[in-house]
Chains A and B, each alone.
Chain A
């Protein structure tokens, strides 16, 4: 059967994959979510929460570019990336609620936790700035996350492994998109180069935290650093940019995003993210 119009193929598919309004199903509905024997459910839940929060909070920052991107085409591209990450967040937060036996829903995690209960790396919550800032954050975040998800594909928890497998394909594209812009801006005009370097300098103090070993994590983040460095150095060389030599932003008594210690930006972000759900809990549309 041939379709003269590619959009005709839509009508043949079922529309279960669309989320219309509220009240859609648990994203892990129908999946066996029992925790494999020998695995600590609470630890698995805490780890899924970390990865889910990374995706949720960074996705929110990407959504802020809607109506603000420099080009219409890139606006859609950025929104797509945000949606991919939001999808990962849904799965990971749902996994967390199943793994620790609490049955807590994705919405409950997203909308009814306070700042200190969020476990994402501080890089994810950085907002504002220009397009060069965005691209720098996206290059760093997606390079790091891709390396991490590739490890998790062989996780002992089959649910987490499946979520990672789906995410690898998505984040590989995010990294490619960001790296192309990094090269385009870095190796572009004097102004674009300056902006791109500004972006890198701004994000750099938050890079060290990504590779800090945390006791809860199932993959030791420190082991991802060589791969991250190699890929980033390649991209920076192609972009004729220099790796910033800036120290790491300190935490509070050594505690950082993974411990619930965040920058002052997170409160404003959560106010926007959560205010509707908190003003009208349990409402549907």
Chain B
């Protein structure tokens, strides 16, 4: 069946997750319906405690054509990684 419901992207935060993670997409007529559908499609197995939905058309994405100018310059700058420090044990999530 052909319809013109817009595409939404769904982000779910798991029970012990720290951040919302992209889990998939769906079609819905409005934001509220998108949230309902996200709950019904992506949290059926007790995966989540929080859901974000956003219209796919509202996401600005980097273009694959610009991959090199965007990402290649950071490839050889190892000194930007904080690997030369000892991280104290009590600092979490690094």
Q: Is the CB of B93 within 8 A of A76?
A: no
Expressed in whole angstroms, the Cα–Cα distance for A77 and B18 within the complex equals 27
Q: Is the CB of A70 within 8 A of B1?
A: yes
A10 at interface by CB-CB < 8 Å:
yes
Expressed in whole angstroms, the Cα–Cα distance for A184 and B34 within the complex equals 13
Given A6-B17, A73-B26, residue A80 in contact with residue B40 (CB < 8 A): yes
A1 at interface by CB-CB < 8 Å:
yes
Give the contacting residue for B40; candidates A3, A4, A8, A77; CB below 8 A.
A77
Q: Is the CB of A180 within 8 A of B32?
A: yes
Q: Is the CB of A6 within 8 A of B48?
A: yes
| Residues of A in contact, count (CB < 8 Å) | 24
How far does the Cβ of A36 sit from chain B's closest Cβ, in whole Å? 32
| Residue picked from B16, B26, B32, most chain A C-beta under 10 Å | B16
| Residue picked from A3, A4, A7, A73, most chain B C-beta under 10 Å | A73
Expressed in whole angstroms, the Cα–Cα distance for A3 and B20 within the complex equals 10
Q: Is the CB of B47 within 8 A of A7?
A: yes
B81 at interface by CB-CB < 8 Å:
no
A71 at interface by CB-CB < 8 Å:
yes
Q: Which residues of B have CB within 8 Å of A2?
A: 16-19, 93
Give the contacting residue for B27; candidates A71, A180, A184; CB below 8 A.
A71
Give me the interface of A with B, judged by CB distance under 8 Å: 1-10, 13, 70-74, 76-77, 80, 173, 176-177, 180, 184
Give me the interface of B with A, judged by CB distance under 8 Å: 1, 3, 5, 12-19, 21, 23, 26-29, 32-33, 36-37, 39-41, 44-48, 93
10 contacts between A and B (CB under 8 A): A2-B17, A2-B19, A3-B16, A6-B14, A6-B47, A7-B23, A9-B16, A9-B47, A71-B1, A71-B5
